[in-house]
Amino acid sequence: MSQSDHSSLLDVKFVGSIAQVGINRPQKRNAINDDLVKAIHDCFASMPDTVKAIVLYGIGDHFCAGLDLSEVSAHTVPESVMHSRGWHAAFEHIQFGRAPVIAVLHGAVVGGGLELAASAHVRVAEESSFYALPEGKRGLFVGGGGSVRITRLIGVSRMTDMMLTGRVLDAQEGHQAGISHYTVGAGQGMAKAMELAESIASNAAMTNYGVMHLLPRIADQSIHDGLATESLMAAVAQTDPATLDLLAQFLEGKKNKVKFKPQ
């Protein structure tokens, strides 16, 4: 898979078993238009089997400033629904795709950009990051999955405040709210993301699959259904040959025991 397969809107590179996917519209603060949605969809839907982790980032000064309003035109209700569903399909391939995704956040992570970030599994925020949902001040409503994913990160109440008032959160406020998992200094996001990606890529593939595909669904199930699903996933993971190999390495002293290390 080469960069040309996904147009110039994405810069795709491979470092061993890790894919780096860069959003490449810096002149537009990486705002999302229909072509970029399609490029994201096609890119994440066609990741090679050899990819074990993915780092998603924005080229230039911003991660993603959301919907490209210069390309917004009047639509009928059915057309608008299908437009939103196109975003949903693209971001589903991130959340429920082939490999865990680490998003590197910096600069604007706004509107659809925050919806995009929320579809990743781990988020690393540089100190320049800021978050907003300006749709409410522009007569719009989130349409890229934000009402589902962002509310699960920061809660309905905080998202309500951001949409009604246009409130902007800085990197630390966003971290405290639950948007990011890690915060780093300027320019340090990619290094941290690659460190995490290498660690994630070393996990048993079946365990990563369970965390990506089963864990969020278990969270949406009733307690009893969730526990039953958990037991099935635990049994599958425990009997996976890769898991047995990792357990043997631990018992032989080749894998370190859990120790606390400040982030």
Which residue is catalytic, options 135, 173, 198, 252? 135
Listed residue (182, 208, 204, 199) closest to 263, CA to CA: 182
Which residue is catalytic, options 115, 127, 195, 198? 115
| Strand segments (E) across the chain | 10-15, 18-23, 53-58, 101-105, 108-110, 122-126, 130-132, 169-170, 182-184
Within 8 A by CB and 6+ apart from 164, the residues are 136
Q: Distance between CA atoms of 102 and 184, rounded to whole angstroms?
A: 14
In the beta sheet, which residues pair with residue 123? Answer: 103
Contact 10, 37 (CB under 8 A): no
Is residue 135 part of the annotated active site? The answer reads yes
Q: Give the chain's length.
A: 263
Is residue 126 part of the annotated active site? The answer reads no
Contact 87, 144 (CB under 8 A): yes
Please report, to the nearest 10 degrees, the dihedral formed by the alpha carbons of residues 191, 150, 85, 120 taken in order. Answer: 20
Helix and strand element counts for the chain (H, E): 11, 9
* Three-state SS at 108: strand
Q: Distance between CA atoms of 219 and 233, rounded to whole angstroms?
A: 14
**Residues assigned a catalytic role:** 115, 135
